[in-house]
Amino acid sequence: MKGLFSALLVPFDEKGNIKEQGLRDIVRQNIEVQQVDGLYVNGSSGENFMLSTEQKKTIFQIVSEENAGKVKLIAQVGSINLDEAVELGKYATSLGYDSLSAVTPFYYKFSFEEIKHYYETIIAETNNNMIIYAIPALTGVSMDVAQFDELFQNEKIIGVKYTDGNFFMLERLRKRYPNKLIYSGFDEMLIYGVISGVDGAIGSTYNINGKRAKQIMALCHEGKVDEAYEVQHVTNDLIEKVLDLGLYQTLKEVLNQKGFDAGTCKKPMSGFDSSKIEEVKKLVADFNL
């Protein structure tokens, strides 16, 4: 379960329907072109929190079929509707997903005991492994080391997707839990995560920039940190331009320009601004995407 995982993009048509062939193509290009080690399915990058339960199930099924055991699969099933999270967890487990993941429950100010119960319920109902999805900037949920201690007592909680800029906390968790999986969740900070000893990374830009990300990881592991920084600088130049143009919209448009049917984003998210097509074409050429 170590390595680089793309937070999988999902293509939609203008009415918000899943474009099945486009999704299959994106899965294949992640595996064959970006050479990722796994796929993180139905996370933020898949616009998950705007989808119906049935759409989420459809995505899990299509990805499982197209992957056909080639790389590891993590199913993000988190929801503030615990019944839905359990239903999705059971379904993904039946499809053979290697682990579940769940975002910390958000919007309402849940107590830690409520958050712990949420994870323990999903695990008990599915009997699958769990990777905590910690992204405090979007959920408002920040956990301290003592709370991670409580969660990690459950042997089925095998790790955390750590999307946080608190590298002191990351260092503390790495030292305290050498046998738990820690995934870096910020693509623009990948090098710092690898230097801190993460087991892998999960991110949206790996759908188009996975090869560079794997290069950063390999160089760090070889002790060639200066060279890794040079690749991170290029990567962050790319990320900066993608963010300027609109994150998910631009990632999809890059894939569209490369001949994959990545569709558009699901409303209320806006689609790509067609007046910026030439900027995307230049992006593809300049960064050899």
Across 244-259, b (16+ Cβ under 10 Å) vs e yields: ebbbbbbbbbbbbbee
Q: Which of 158, 89, 153 is nearest to 126 (CA)?
A: 89
The average pLDDT across 218-229 equals: 98
Q: What is the DSSP letter of 217?
A: H
Cα(72)–Cα(97) distance, integer angstroms: 8
Residue 119 tokens read as 């994870």
pLDDT of residue 172: 96
Looking at domain 3-211, does it have CATH number 3.40.1210.10? no
Q: Report the pLDDT averaged over residues 269-273.
A: 96
Residue 8's pLDDT band (cuts 50, 70, 90): very high
Query: Sorting pLDDT into bands at 50, 70 and 90, what band is 21?
Result: very high
pLDDT at 81: 97
The whole-number average pLDDT for the span 78-87 is: 97
Neighbour count for residue 124 (Cβ, 10 Å): 11
Q: Binding site for aceneuramate: what residues are annotated?
A: 44-45, 163, 185, 187-188, 204
Of 261, 257, 262, 265, residue with least CA distance to 282: 257
Taking alpha carbons only, the member of 224, 212, 159 closest to residue 188 is 212
Tell me what pLDDT residue 142 has. 85
Give pairs for 59-63: CB < 8 Å, separation 24+. Answer: 59/10, 59/18, 59/23, 60/88, 60/91, 60/92, 60/95, 60/97, 61/95, 62/18, 62/20, 62/23, 62/24, 62/27, 63/8, 63/23, 63/27, 63/39
Report the C-alpha dihedral over residues 130, 68, 71, 177, rounded to 10 degrees: 20
pLDDT at 140 over 90: no
Q: How confident is the model at residue 231 (pLDDT cuts 50, 70, 90)?
A: very high
Q: Which residues contact residue 221 at a Cβ distance below 8 angstroms, ignoring those fewer than 6 apart?
A: 194
Of all residues in the chain, the percent with pLDDT exceeding 90 is 96
Question: In the chain, what are the domain boundaries?
Answer: 3-211
Cβ count within 10 A of residue 68: 9
Mean pLDDT of the chain: 97
CB 71: neighbour CB atoms within 10 A?
19
State pLDDT tens for residues 150-198.
Answer: 999 999 999 999 999 899 999 999 999 999 999 999 999 999 999 999 9
Q: Which residues are catalytic?
A: 133, 161
pLDDT above 90 for 230:
yes
Residue 141 confidence (pLDDT):
80
Task: Work out the pLDDT band at 203, boundaries 50, 70, 90.
Answer: very high
What is the pLDDT confidence band of residue 139, given thresholds at 50, 70 and 90?
confident
Average pLDDT rounded to a whole number, residues 223-237: 98
